[in-house]
Amino acid sequence: MKITFFLLFLSFSAFSQDLPSLSKDITWQRLVHYKPTLFGVESEADNDKFFLSKDGKTHPLHELEKTVEAFKQNNQSAICRFPARYIWLSKILGLPAQSFKECTEFLVFSDKLQAKSASLIFSSYYINTPASAFGHTFLRMNRHAHGAKKEDRTELLDYGINYAALMDTDNALIYAVKAIAGMFNGVFTSVPYYYKVREYNDHESRDLWEYELNLSQAQIDLMVAHIWEMSQTNFDYYYFTENCSYQILAMIDLVDPKFRLVDRIPFYVIPADTVRAAVEEEGLVIEKKFRPSALTRLEAGTKEMSVKELTLVKNLAADPKKCESSLKDLTTSAQQATILDSAIEAMDFLFAKDLLLEKGQKRNDKHELLMIRAENPEISKDKEYKVRKDMFPDQAHRSQRVGLGHGYSAGEGSYQTLSMRFALHDMLDPLPGQPPFSEITFGDVGLRLQQQDYHAPRKLLINHLDIFRVKSYQPVTPWQQNFSWNARIGMGTLRDESFKDQLGSTIELGGGGTVGLGQNQWNLLTLLSKVELTQQDQFAHGWRMAAGPEISTRFVFSDHLSLGLVTSYKWRHYFTDNDFSSTAFQRGGEFRWNMNKTWSLFMKTDWYDIKSQTNQWSELGFYVYY
Amino acid sequence: MKKILVVVSLALMASSAFAAKYGSAGCGLGSMIFEGDQTWWKQVLTATTNGTSGSQTFGITTGTSNCDSPAPLKVSQVQAYVEANKLALANDIAKGNGETIMNLSKVYGCSNTADFGKALKSNYRSIFSNADASSVEITNSLNSVASTSCNTNI
């Protein structure tokens, strides 16, 4: 009876704090991850343990009442489960400040982090899987205060806070379905930053971009407490919306009611957008840093070397014992040390997997090489890797693009085009902050309003509807000889006279090689063999196969001007008899003037010779990145 | 000096405890990356679908990781650190300088990082006695170099 009375009194006094309006406070909404739905709000957390009230997932007020009630009773189990809620509510409700001394596990966690500042980390694309241009974002909780000097930092020992899906299937189909339908559990994890550096920088050769955030110690404490809360629950992981980047931004938003990072990104989140959102939040990012990958370090160290020196580095990396003697050609021990240091980097890059797994002959060679280096008395200096400010990922153009164009075709008259791309980047788009040798397109639609003749009404056609287009044209360098390839899945209007304006569905694959052209590292010449399969009901058997070579070039004249040229020849087969007489010869070019990160002008022209009949299209228009 | 000896002997005990707990595979990077043997399609999918580093390979649940010592910046952390940073640490020790040495020096609480780096370099052969030196062996050698060459300002 007494207890009931006490509870009644408590809930009465709680209401006196105006809990209904407090439950609408942005920080409460963020603490419990409420999102508006058709019928009110719902928390994104998908674990009962995250709520004190049975209907807390959909009732912010009920959840707040239960939380306040527990906190006023000094319920330690609730306080230890929800330290961030306590930190925030105690200030508003005048509850005593907590040292959380009964929360052993939380204290162990926050003691482990010893966080004084935080950085947003972006790992760029994986060189061998260009499709990973989307990159990955996570947080690093730093032991140093922001802006600390280099010698006061122990970044390797800091903790990375990662949000990722727990994958629990080996079946590709189940995997894809679960990934899109949000059937994986997303969980927060913490791992020493050195694991991330070794994984991304060394093993996968991905550059890391670090954005140090200007947050107060109180904000950092709230963040740590909330990370702890989040690590107790799980979320449905949606690959395109509620993904790693989304949750990391929400984590930053929490600590300041003024922050609007999540609002700055489109409904589907690309990790590169997160760093831009952070940079656009005024005063939030105070320092940008770059942590070079194994390949970046190797290339920077060997760029200025003579052919002779480069050969020496290569030979040492291949067989240190045999080539040690040739080091004596160099006069000073400093010169020898420079060569040895690059050879160490070359070996790590070229034989990354063998060395990591500690198997095979390479680990013995590496041991030899390091012993030779240890004998050399020179101490290596700390290296600073300069990177152009506009190459940081936050400087990249936005990933969505619309285009309007006006064109003329010799046989068909004038036409207008409207195009819309959801993501991410093509070879002629502004380069800064983007993977320079790749195209990654997801969802690209082009419509064409075609003038038939002067009297007939204009006709609206789908020019193309590509689900997916990828190109990886990594040029051959002294350190890597990557295969170039492309893939496309989508629909397009057929160019042939006999199937004019019909849509065909196409899968296209190509493979070959790329070399750089001249001194400009962005200029490329690519030679591919291509195969495509097209489905269209009007074909004799519904299918057409085509194959042939393609040669293409990409020139980047300046930060603003680029030109792409392509020539291809295809033999086509309609699965009728041994008839390969149908051929298609295409030449085309596109010139792009990227005026700034938002506006580009394009001018393109294409010639198609199909069965000796030539069609030509020319088009002028503009793109807007948004 | 006395203090560092105590710390180091504690570390030696801790490191043998580590070895017993985690087995020979340890919690090194190699065992983590290739654990579960990622199939090609999974790599492509993770790469194309917002590049989550699947926590299957790298996930260590908060506070309960087997590769994670409970307290920060303690000498008992050295072995986990050595295991994960083996390659980079060997490179830096051969060169006598580098980020892995700077961080290691902080773990030991050394105030003379540059000298510590030089001392490690001149002991390269004893620290990495062969190509297959285990993280336990390396940690023990590091501890003994630290016990003679590291000033702790205490």
Lowest mean pLDDT among A27-31, A105-109, A597-601, B37-41: B37-41
Mean of pLDDT over chain A: 87
Q: A138 is written with which tokens?
A: 């996570």
Residue A446 is predicted with a pLDDT of 96
- Residue B47 maps to a domain: no
A169 band by pLDDT with thresholds 50, 70 and 90: low
Dihedrals phi, psi of A40, to nearest 5 degrees: 130, -125
- Beta carbons of A164 and B53 less than 8 Å apart: yes
Q: How many domains does chain B have?
A: 1
Closest residue, chain A, to B69 (C-alpha)? A112
Closest residue, chain B, to A231 (C-alpha)? B62
A162: chain B residues, CB-CB within 8 Å = 53, 55, 58-59
Residue A27 is predicted with a pLDDT of 96
> Would the pLDDT of A239 be above 70?
no
Q: How far apart are CA A267 and CA A262, in angstroms?
A: 9
Closest residue, chain A, to B113 (C-alpha)? A151
- Beta carbons of B61 and A187 less than 8 Å apart: yes
Q: Among A154, A210, A336, A364, pick the best mutation site for testing chain B contact (most B Cβ within 10 A).
A: A154
Q: How far apart are CA A210 and CA A137, in angstroms?
A: 10
Q: What is the pLDDT of residues A67-77, one digit of tens each?
A: 999 999 999 99
Q: What is the pLDDT of residues A38-47, one digit of tens each?
A: 888 999 888 8
A147 band by pLDDT with thresholds 50, 70 and 90: confident
ipTM entry: 0.81
- Residue B14 maps to a domain: yes
- Beta carbons of A157 and B106 less than 8 Å apart: yes
Q: How far apart are CA A261 and CA A274, in angstroms?
A: 8
B87: chain A residues, CB-CB within 8 Å = 198, 202, 348, 355-356
A126: chain B residues, CB-CB within 8 Å = 47, 51
Q: A437 is written with which tokens?
A: 């040798």
For A374, the closest of B34, B45, B125 (CB atoms) is B125
Which residues fall within 8 angstroms of residue A39, CB to CB, at 6 or more apart? none
Q: A539 is written with which tokens?
A: 């074909």
Q: HSE-up of A439 (CA within 13 Å, CB side)?
A: 20
Asked if the C-beta of A356 comes within 8 angstroms of chain B's C-beta atoms, the answer is yes
> Would the pLDDT of A8 be above 60?
no
Dihedrals phi, psi of A176, to nearest 5 degrees: -65, -45
Closest residue, chain B, to A124 (C-alpha)? B51
For A112, the closest of B72, B97, B100 (CB atoms) is B72
Q: Could you check whether the bond before residue A356 is cis, i.e. omega within 30 degrees of 0?
A: no
B128: chain A residues, CB-CB within 8 Å = 367, 370
Contact A117, A215 (CB under 8 A): yes
Map B34-70 to HEC letters: CCCCCCHHHHHHHHHCCCCCCHHHHCCECCCCCCCCC
Q: How far apart are CA A282 and CA A2, in angstroms?
A: 53
> Would the pLDDT of A180 be above 70?
no
A239: chain B residues, CB-CB within 8 Å = 49-50, 52
> Would the pLDDT of B154 be above 90?
no
Mean pLDDT score, A169-173: 63
- Beta carbons of A370 and B90 less than 8 Å apart: yes
Lowest mean pLDDT among A251-255, A266-270, A591-595, B43-47: B43-47
Q: Can you give the pTM of this predicted structure?
A: 0.82
- Name the A residues in 264-303 with CB < 8 Å from any B CB: 269-271
Return the DSSP state at A62: H
Q: How far apart are CA A226 and CA A213, in angstroms?
A: 17
A127: chain B residues, CB-CB within 8 Å = none
Domains of chain A: 2-102 (no CATH), 113-291 (no CATH), 294-375 (no CATH), 397-625 (2.40.160.40)
Give the residue, A287 or A163, on which the prediction is more confident. A287
> Would the pLDDT of A450 be above 50?
yes
Give the minimum alpha-carbon distance from A167 to chain B in angstroms, rounded to a whole number: 6
CB pairs under 8 A between A and B: 218
Q: How far apart are CA A382 and CA A369, in angstroms?
A: 20
- Name the A residues in 298-337 with CB < 8 Å from any B CB: 337
A179: chain B residues, CB-CB within 8 Å = 45, 49
How large a percentage of chain A has pLDDT more than 70? 90
Q: Among B41, B48, B50, B99, pick the best mutation site for testing chain A contact (most A Cβ within 10 A).
A: B50
Q: Among B27, B42, B45, B52, pick the best mutation site for testing chain A contact (most A Cβ within 10 A).
A: B52
B53: chain A residues, CB-CB within 8 Å = 136, 162, 164, 199
Mean pLDDT score, B66-76: 46
- Residue B10 maps to a domain: yes
Domain range for B119: 2-32+70-149
- Residue B91 maps to a domain: yes
Largest CA distance in chain B: 56
A227: chain B residues, CB-CB within 8 Å = 62
For A170, the closest of B33, B39, B59 (CB atoms) is B39
Q: What is the pLDDT of residues B22-61, one digit of tens each?
A: 322 233 333 333 333 344 444 444 433 333 333 322 223 2
Which residues fall within 8 angstroms of residue A520, CB to CB, at 6 or more apart? A555, A556
Residue A76 is predicted with a pLDDT of 94
A370: chain B residues, CB-CB within 8 Å = 90-91, 93-94, 124, 128
- Beta carbons of B50 and A143 less than 8 Å apart: no
Return the DSSP state at A129: B
Q: A618 is written with which tokens?
A: 């020319």
Residue A408 is predicted with a pLDDT of 92
Closest residue, chain B, to A169 (C-alpha)? B42
Asked if the C-beta of A459 comes within 8 angstroms of chain B's C-beta atoms, the answer is no
Q: What is the pLDDT of residues A476-516, one digit of tens each?
A: 988 888 899 999 999 998 877 777 778 999 999 999 999 99
- Residue B84 maps to a domain: yes
- Residue B37 maps to a domain: no
What stretches of A288-432 show up as alpha helix (H) in DSSP?
294-302, 307-318, 320-323, 333-350, 352-357, 362-375
Q: Among B31, B53, B86, pick the best mutation site for testing chain A contact (most A Cβ within 10 A).
A: B53
Range with the largest mean pLDDT of A166-180, A225-239, A299-313, A453-467: A299-313
- Residue B54 maps to a domain: no
Q: What is the pLDDT of residues A297-341, one digit of tens each?
A: 999 999 889 999 999 999 999 999 888 888 888 889 999 999 999
- Residue B46 maps to a domain: no
- Beta carbons of B72 and A165 less than 8 Å apart: no
Mean pLDDT score, A435-451: 89
Residue A454 is predicted with a pLDDT of 66
- Name the A residues in 223-242 with CB < 8 Å from any B CB: 227-228, 231, 237, 239-240
Residue with tokens 């170039």: A484
Mean pLDDT score, A426-437: 90
Residue A512 is predicted with a pLDDT of 96
> Would the pLDDT of A570 be above 50?
yes
Q: How far apart are CA A30 and CA A43, in angstroms?
A: 9
**C-alpha of B3 from chain center:** 22
Q: HSE-up of A91 (CA within 13 Å, CB side)?
A: 8
A562, burial (CB in 10 Å: exposed 0-12, middle 13-18, buried 19+): buried
A544 band by pLDDT with thresholds 50, 70 and 90: very high
Residue A229 is predicted with a pLDDT of 92
Residue A434 is predicted with a pLDDT of 84
Contact A120, A190 (CB under 8 A): no
